[in-house]
Amino acid sequence: MELARLVVVFARVGILNELQYRVNFFFQILESAIALLTALISLALVFRHTTMLAGWQPAELLVVMGIYGLMSGIVQAVIQPNMVRLARDVFDGRLDYILTKPVDAQLLISIREWQVWRFTNVGLGLLVAGVGMIWGQIGFDVWQALLFVGMLLCGILALYSFWLILTSTSFIIVQIENLINLFEGLFAAGRWPVSIYPGWLRVLLTFVVPVAFAVTVPAEALTARLTGATLVLAVGVSVGLFVIARLCWRWGLSRYSGASA
């Protein structure tokens, strides 16, 4: 309960802070619109040459693309800014301030930044997915909706854990620009269902970089493709990644020596 209250307080302060810069909202919308248009044109280009892509119809791929937008919105709004700040704090020693507080440090470093305008992409992604559902006349019931939300949460947990594992390396090397570059490059694979990739890459995108569970699996839940085995795997991998991330974080902390900040 105490944890939830902390998250709410931090989110409120972060959001109030960002709300001061209202013009940013319009520029964010402009940027999101350009990104969306780019994605739609590439989809149109592919379907100029084929009617189905690895068993997915155009409307269903729109759903995939929408969920990709939603997830990258969450990553850009909360996960990535917090991790970038963590890497900087490790570098200049300001992590000391976190460690002296009486709350779990991992929680604190995960909720400090809220780039609220980035949530535009979340809304836009939901819109695109919705349009895809209507266009493809994909019906779903309450059970499927619940499953979808559950899979989304698993996906967010997996992405967060993956980012924390990446950022924990900043306790030994300072490479944050490269980390962002690496993550964005790999995560872009989620624009398409992972089934289009060659076998070795699919394994990589499922178990190492959780692109499959972040985007493809929630889309499968919405389009009635989800099997029981995938469901169990999604929960298992997300929780597993979280445990690994926790261990990496603890290991990183044990190497950290303050810089008399």
Interface with other proteins (CB under 8 A): 27, 30-31, 34-35, 37-38, 41-42, 45-46, 48-50, 52-54, 175, 178, 181-182, 184-186, 188-189, 191-192, 196-198, 200-201
How many Å apart are CA 26 and CA 23, to the nearest integer? 6
Q: Any idea what the Cα angle at residue 95 is, between residues 89 and 96, rounded to 5°?
A: 145
CB nearer to other proteins: pick between 51 and 137:
51
The answer to whether residues 261 and 97 touch, using CB atoms and an 8 Å cutoff, is yes
The least distance separating other proteins from the CB of residue 185, rounded to whole angstroms, comes to 4
CB nearer to other proteins: pick between 55 and 130:
55
CB nearer to other proteins: pick between 19 and 37:
37
The least distance separating other proteins from the CB of residue 105, rounded to whole angstroms, comes to 27
End-to-end CA distance of the chain: 32
CB nearer to other proteins: pick between 31 and 96:
31
CB nearer to other proteins: pick between 5 and 49:
49
The least distance separating other proteins from the CB of residue 20, rounded to whole angstroms, comes to 17
How many Å apart are CA 125 and CA 5, to the nearest integer? 28
Torsion of Cα atoms, 250 then 252 then 255 then 259, to 10°: -110
| Of the candidates 182, 230, 222, the residue with the CA atom closest to the CA atom of residue 65 | 222
The least distance separating other proteins from the CB of residue 148, rounded to whole angstroms, comes to 25
Q: Exposed, middle or buried: residue 47 (CB in 10 Å: 0-12, 13-18, 19+)?
A: middle
The least distance separating other proteins from the CB of residue 237, rounded to whole angstroms, comes to 20
Residue 47 in 3-state DSSP? coil
